Amino acid sequence: MSMEDAIMNDMTQIDQGVAVDELKMQARNVDVFYGAGGGTRSAEDMAADKAITHAIKHVDVDIADKTVTSFIGPSGCGKSTFLRVLNRMNDTIDGCRMTGDVTLEGENIYDPKVDPVQLRAKVGMVFQKPNPFPKSIFDNVAYGPRIHGLARNKADLAEIVEKSLRRAAIWDEVKDRLDAPGTGLSGGQQQRLCIARAVATSPEVLLMDEPCSALDPIATAQVEELIDDLRSRFSVVIVTHSMQQAARVSQKTAFFHLGELVEFDDTDKIFTNPSDPRTESYITGRIG
Amino acid sequence: MLWILITLLALGALGFVLGRQRAVASAGGDTRVLHSLPVYYGTNVTLLTLVPALLVLGVWLMAQPIVIDRMVSAQLPDSYVAEAASRDLLMTEIRRLADGIDTAVERGAFNGLDALNLSVGDDIRRQLADAGVALGADVSPEVLQAAQSFREMSGAGRTWMTVAVFALALAGLAYAYLRTTKDLRARNRVEHMILGVLMLASTLAILTTVGIVLSMLWDTRNFFQLYPWQDFFFGLEWRPSFEGNSELGLIPLLWGTLYISLIALLVAVPIGLFAAIFMAEYATRRVRSVAKPLIEVLAGIPTIVYGLFALITVGPMLRDYFAAPLGLGNSSSSVMTAGIVMGIMLIPFVSSLSDDIINAVPQSLRDGSYGLGATQSETVKQVVLPAALPGIVGAVLLAASRAIGETMIVVLGAGAAARLDLNPFEAMTTVTVKIVGQLTGDTDFSSPEALVAFALGLTLFVITLGLNIFALYIVRKYREQYE
């Protein structure tokens, strides 16, 4: 059975319907503060301090397995910050403090026993701006597997790289120049390369922070198609400014406003029959 | 001289006021109608008054002595020149006499008319000595005559220069003043003239470099006429002796230079680079704001102080604890001493440049790496350093060209003995030290022993220039990738 067949098989399995309601990640009562410095101040204490930015306010979100969840909302509403809560990327920012609980398959990811580095291998991330490393295309994709020792030998690594590039729908364009620098690709190709790089470590959840904002409509369409494919293997969480995009690719949508989660529901319901007036104003273009 | 400058500046200031007034008047007092702000009209007049006049003044001041020298020199009868030692010496004597008479007139020893009527019989040497001007020898009629015509021409030249400069300044002032109307695009004109001034400045800088190289080339050529170039470039011995029969081989000096620079880089690159990685990637902002300036203090220490450190501390220490016990010699001046101390001197160069370069690596690359579950050191090793590598190589090459040009640390740390040896605890020396050595003291600038300094200097210049160009090339070639 060739690899392509294997991938096709994967996809048909989904289409036959895997339970979409299986819970993958759960966030409860999450607050995020910037400029908080060190220490162990309580959420109430920090919220009362005017010098501290209260970026996320008591947010609860459930991320289901094999589902695309989109976060929408005006700029500065905290959706990217919240996304970075899910793989502890905020740990790398000075003065950023988070309170509340986030679990991945029932395990608290902010538990001191959890290694954030291991966590990020399970919760992959694709960024707004394509950021290929200044290495060859092959080395870009092989980066994660090499770090985590996922390949037994060279042939195995090559297979992982090919599979990831295929999954990111860029294999045909780059298969003849895997040694060329990843920085030499076009913007859309770079972004798909970054997606390939993220899926190469076989994460369980893939976080995408406005993955299409730097792309033209054609590349956007390709990436959206890709997101739909990725749902067969991963849960995908996507932050987007485009409501059409959210409507096209996601099954669940969360609307953030001023650091609060205003509404979180099935995408269809959010876009056709929102229960909160602020959501309605935003999707009809009156705020944001 | 001074009063010419002051008067010119006063004219410029006058021009500013006049130009501004005329512009405002032509607009009927409503400055909104003017094409440019009033200050530009004033500046326009000032610049047209000052710039051409100052340029002419500068060129004239440089050209006049050369022209007059030529003319006076041509007047001297050839037979008399043949009698004296050389034309150059004679001209020096003439200039000295002319200056002496001028000084004497200034001090009131005799009046201007007397000065013109001086003759050899008047015992000029004694008269001038009374006025406080010492002459080397008695004045011969030819020299006196030449000196008198020298004075005459200088005086005339000065008068003409003053006339020309002021005529030009006034013409510029008048022209610019008359052209000033409310529609004059004074703003654009000022812009153009400023561009011209900026271009002039950069041209001067470049011309100076060219001039330095040319002067070195000239003396180097003289050297190679006296000493065969094969012996210079491939000679294995450096044994200058002012009685002749010197052996002036470049190789031992070049070897010392490269050996010391290599050790310096072996010290500076790892320490500097690790310091830079710590500063850029690991240190908190507080630590960074304290530690970075502290490291950069090293760059502010004069090299002679490093030299003393090498001579008094590092040299004896290396000798007592390493060289002597290992049986590698007992000289406190050694390649190792100079290399280590020079390496310490270079640490801030490497660390500061590398720090900037590492900081310039986009944060998005780091985020991408962390997002894939890489640790901080994996990120630094596999993403940040490869991205910064070209810049770091550039920094190292710049440090290398500093090391090659260093003198003081070598003199005090490694000694002045030219030697071809592999033992790092031996005293050796470098090209720069020998340049200083060959030119200090009583030197005869027509002997190969002195002229060799220029050949050495030019060789060094070519090496460091090559390194710098290579460094710039590498830095530039790879920079585009991340912007």
Same domain, residue pair B10 and B97: yes
Contact status of A26 with chain B (Cβ, < 8 Å): no
Q: Helix, strand or coil for residue A63?
A: strand
Domain stops at, among B160, B184, B208: B184
Interchain CB distance below 8 Å, A94 and B284: yes
Token code pair at residue B139: 């004045």
Q: Which ipTM score applies to this complex?
A: 0.83
Question: Among residues B167, B184, B201, which one ends one of the domains?
Answer: B184
The encoded tokens of residue A92 equal 């790398």
Range of the domain at B24: 2-184
Residue B208 near residue B45, CB atoms below 8 Å: no
**Where does residue B351 rank: exposed (0-12), middle (13-18), buried (19+ CB within 10 A)?**
buried
B357: distance to nearest CA of chain A, Å? 15
The Cα A53–Cα B200 span in angstroms is 53
Q: Which chain B residues are within 8 Å of A127, Cβ to Cβ?
A: 364, 367-368, 371
**The domain boundary residue, chosen from B155, B184, B213:** B184
In this prediction the pTM is 0.74
B272: exposed, middle or buried (Cβ count in 10 Å: 0-12, 13-18, 19+): buried
Strand A23-34 with A97-104, pairing: antiparallel
Nearest to B154 by CA among B108, B101, B76, B113: B101
Q: What is the CA radius of gyration of chain A?
A: 19
What pLDDT is attached to residue B146?
84
Determine the pLDDT at residue A13: 41
Helix A154-167 vs helix A217-230: angle between axes, to the nearest 10 degrees? Answer: 120
Tens of pLDDT along chain B (483 residues) come to 788 899 999 999 999 999 999 998 888 888 888 888 889 999 999 999 998 999 899 899 989 888 888 888 887 777 777 666 677 777 888 888 888 888 877 777 677 666 777 776 667 777 777 777 777 667 777 788 888 888 888 888 889 999 999 999 999 999 999 988 888 888 898 999 889 989 999 999 999 989 989 989 988 998 999 888 888 999 888 888 777 778 888 999 999 999 999 999 999 999 999 999 999 999 888 898 998 889 888 888 999 999 999 999 999 999 999 888 888 888 888 999 999 999 999 999 999 989 988 998 888 899 999 989 899 999 999 999 988 888 888 889 889 988 998 889 998 998 888 888 888 888 899 999 999 888 887 677 778 888 889 999 999 999 988 988 888 887 777 665 554
Cα–Cα dist B26/B346, whole Å? 63
Q: Which A residues 200-239 touch B at CB under 8 Å?
A: 201
Partnered with residue A237 across adjacent β-strands are A69, A207
| Cα A66 to chain centroid, rounded | 13
In a domain, B226, yes or no: no
Tell whether A182 is within 8 A of chain B (Cβ).
no
Q: Which residues of chain B have a CB within 8 Å of the CB of A92?
A: 366-367, 370
Residue B232, domain member (yes or no): no
Residues belonging to chain A:
288
pLDDT at A21: 58
Estimate the crossing angle of helix B2-26 against helix B38-75, to 10 degrees: 150
Question: From CA B46, how far away is CA B36, in angstroms rounded?
Answer: 16
Tell me if A143 and B386 make a contact (CB, 8 A cut-off).
Answer: no
Give the architecture (CATH level 2) of A3-131+203-283.
3-Layer(aba) Sandwich (3.40)
Question: Going by C-beta distance under 8 Å and a sequence separation of 6 or more, which residues neighbour residue A269?
Answer: A275
Question: What are the two backbone dihedrals, phi and then psi, of residue A257, each rounded to the nearest 5 degrees?
Answer: -150, 125
Could you tell me if B50 and B177 lie in one domain?
yes
Q: What is the pLDDT of residue A132?
A: 92
Q: For residue B480, which of A129, A134, A216 has the smallest C-alpha distance?
A: A134
Mean pLDDT by runs of 10 across the 288 residues of chain A is 48 42 85 79 82 89 92 89 91 85 91 89 90 91 92 93 90 92 88 92 91 85 87 90 90 92 92 90 78
Query: A135 vs B386: CB contact, 8 Å cut-off?
Result: yes
Rounded distance, CA B222 to CA B235, Å?
Answer: 19
Q: Are residues B263 and B173 in the same domain?
A: no
d(CA B167, CA B242): 57
A162 CB-near residues (< 8 Å, 6+ apart): A3, A171, A175
B282 and B161 fall within a common domain: no
Alpha helix locations (H) across chain A? 3-15, 43-48, 79-85, 116-122, 137-148, 154-167, 171-174, 187-199, 217-230, 243-249, 267-272, 277-283
Least Cα distance to A81 among A121, A34, A23 occurs for: A34
Q: Which two tokens stand for residue A262?
A: 């205003």
Residue type, B287: V
Q: Is A110 in CB contact (< 8 Å) with chain B?
A: no
Q: How many Å apart are CA B281 and CA B178, to the nearest integer?
A: 64
Q: What pLDDT score was predicted for residue B312?
A: 93
Helix (H) / strand (E) containing A237: strand A235-239
Q: Do B370 and A118 touch (CB under 8 A)?
A: no
Cβ contact A183–B378 (<8 Å): no
Number of domains in chain B: 2
Mutate to test the interface with B, among A86, A87, A89, A125 (most CBs of B within 10 A): A125
**DSSP-derived secondary structure letter, B313:** I
The reply to whether residue A198 touches residue B387, judged by beta carbons under 8 angstroms, is no
Hey, how many other C-beta atoms are within 10 angstroms of the C-beta on B27? Answer: 18
Asked if residue B477 belongs to a domain, the reply is yes
Q: Do A267 and A253 form a contact (C-beta atoms < 8 A)?
A: yes
pLDDT of B420 reads 87
Q: Is residue B430 domain-shared with residue B287, that is, in the same domain?
A: yes
Cβ atoms within 10 A of the Cβ of B188, count?
A: 13
Main-chain phi, psi angles of A124, to 5 degrees: -75, 165
Chain B residues close to A38, C-beta within 8 Å: none
Question: Distance of alpha carbon B252 from its chain centroid, rounded?
Answer: 28
Contact A242, A219 (CB under 8 A): no
Take residue A153 and report the two structure tokens written for it: 């030998």
CB contact under 8 A, B284 and A198: no
**Torsional sign, CA B100, B103, B108, B112:** positive
CATH classification of the domain holding B367: 1.10.3720.10
| Shared-domain flag, residues B308 and B451 | yes
CB atoms within 10 A of CB B316: 12
Closest chain A C-alpha to B215 CA, distance in angstroms: 46
Contact of A144 with chain B, judged by CB distance below 8 Å, is answered with yes
- Position A5 scores a pLDDT of 52
Same domain, B148 and B256: no
For residues B25 and B36, what is the distance between their CA atoms, to the nearest angstrom?
14
DSSP single-letter state for residue B214: H
